[in-house]
Amino acid sequence: MDLLRIGMVGSQFAAHLHLQNYARLRGWKVEIQVVASRTRARAEELARKHNIPEVADDFRRLLDRKDIDAVDLCVPTDLHHEFVIEAAKAGKHVICEKPLTGYFGKDRPEELVGLAVDRKTMFREALANCEAVAAAIKESKIKFCYAENWIYAPPVVKLKKLMQVSKGTILDMRAEESHSGSHAAYSRKWKTAGGGALLRLGAHPVSAVLHLKHYEGILKAGCGIKLKSVTAEVGQHTRIESFKKEPQKWIVSAWEDVEDWATMIMNFEDGSQAVVSASDGVLGGVRNTMTVYLSNAVVQVNINPNDTVVAYAPAPHIFGEEYIAEKLETKAGWNFASPDEDWVRGYPQELEDFGDCLITGREPDSGLDLAMQTVKAIYAAYLSAEKGRRVELENWGGGIIKRGSSPN
């Protein structure tokens, strides 16, 4: 195979993001054959915009087609694990958006998920979903590419190079993804999102932190350094009474049963630690930042905002339709005008790696293990926040879940 033939699934935010970054690869590494989405009109709109020859209104229509090698899943999180399993059974490679999966309370009414189900049950079922995905992939021998762009973001790649040459020990990491709230309806409730700010936004920095400790361990001893335990707090800041009374809301406040703020401490087996924060209540454009304190160096990663271009305008209309940065409330005043936001966030690099992997048969830099470990860390954090104490992960063995074992 020298050209990867892809079926896109989903036609909104993430699908646009992927398609605008496949643009540089189309025709020589990848081809987009069809877009499938629940809303046919949206699929048609996306197909027109990105010059895709066909549309379908059901993901399953892609599975028995011989002219599709891989599906790219840009659908709400509750569909990820089922779609991955179905694609694997049909022998299609999978590119899957973050997070891999979670707990969704399939058999429960919507209002009885996020607020009514204990986090231990959620933790167990989220891990069982991971296991089911892993089993289907193993059986089918397809490849799984986990669309975690932080792993490919040039600032993070540079950080890894600096880590490698410094030979320092990572002592402490502080990482964050925050903004003023998601546009997507699925994100408002646990039943479709599987969690709030921590799962949807925090999945990025959590994956980056896990990846870096794994990388450090491989460099030094040939095996990754594992997460040992987590402690966390979650909050719903949009429920604060004085906020509720404010007439103008600058941040999204339509959250139903999901948290809009979270902070977790990740304790690694070598004694190092990371603090990860995620919030849907942060104005001023998306924040994707990370500081790594090594024993002999400090590296500050500013994916967003970064000051490659700092631009000022006395009124918002002056910069017209020109893009400045994601989730920015106003173009007035001083702003960080990212010249190529997708590039600095790692999207084209991620998709190129996936294309190369699926064509050549090698494993992607961001794959199944990272996807599963991220779910495990975050659901342990939910359990910790509920119990008000640290959750040890050691009992869960080297894999994701050890049958019969239970998190404390």
Ligand X SMILES: NC(=O)c1ccc[n+]([C@@H]2O[C@H](COP(=O)([O-])OP(=O)(O)OC[C@H]3O[C@@H](n4cnc5c(N)ncnc54)[C@H](O)[C@@H]3O)[C@@H](O)[C@H]2O)c1
Is position 42 an interface residue for ligand X (rule: CB under 6 A)? Answer: yes
Cβ 36 to ligand X shortest distance, Å: 6
Kindly tell me which of 84 and 163 has the beta carbon lying closer to ligand X: 84
Q: Is the peptide bond prior to 305 cis by the omega test (within 30 degrees of 0)? A: yes
CB closer to ligand X, 13 vs 323: 13
CB of 79 to ligand X, least distance (A): 6
Containing 299, the helix (H) or strand (E) segment is strand 298-304
Helices H / strands E in the chain, number of each: 12, 15
Contact status, residue 163 vs residue 46, Cβ threshold 8 Å: no
Structural contact between residues 278 and 202, judged by C-beta atoms closer than 8 angstroms: yes
Are the beta carbons of 72 and 25 closer than 8 angstroms? no
Q: How far apart are CA 320 and CA 80, in angstroms?
A: 37
Token code pair at residue 369: 């293990």
Q: Which span sits near ligand X by CB under 6 A: 35-43, 109-117, 260-268, 283-291? A: 35-43
Which window, 13-21, 131-139, 211-219, 227-235, contacts ligand X (CB under 6 A)?
Answer: 13-21
Nearest residue to ligand X on Cβ basis: 12
Cβ atoms within 10 Å of 41's Cβ, excluding its own: 11
For position 12 contacting ligand X by CB under 6 A, the verdict is yes
Residues 54-83 that bind ligand X (CB under 6 A): 59, 74-77, 79
In the complex, least distance from residue 266 CB atom to ligand X, rounded to whole angstroms: 20
Amino acid (one-letter) located at 310: V
The structure tokens listed for 90 are 């049909």
Q: What minimum distance in Å lies between the beta carbon of 379 and ligand X?
A: 16
Amino acid of residue 33 = Q
Query: Quick check: 37 binds ligand X (CB under 6 A)?
Result: yes
Asked if 374 touches ligand X (CB under 6 A), the answer is no
Residue 147 binding ligand X, by CB under 6 A: yes
CB nearer to ligand X: pick between 79 and 197: 79
Report how far residue 54's alpha carbon sits from residue 43's, in angstroms, rounded to the nearest whole number.
Answer: 9
Q: Which is nearer to ligand X, 9 or 276 (CB)?
A: 9
Does the CA dihedral 240-246-247-252 come out positive or negative?
negative
Site string for ligand X, 81-100 (x = CB under 6 A): ----------------xx--
Counting contacts by CB under 6 A, is residue 400 touching ligand X? no
Close Cβ partners of 35 (under 8 Å, ≥ 6 residues apart): 7, 8, 9, 11, 15, 43, 46, 47, 50, 52, 54, 55, 56
Among 9, 87, 100, 301, binds ligand X (CB under 6 A): 9
Closest CB to ligand X among residues 129, 149: 149
**Interface residues toward ligand X, by CB under 6 A:** 9-14, 17, 36-39, 42, 59, 74-77, 79, 97-98, 147, 149, 184, 186, 200
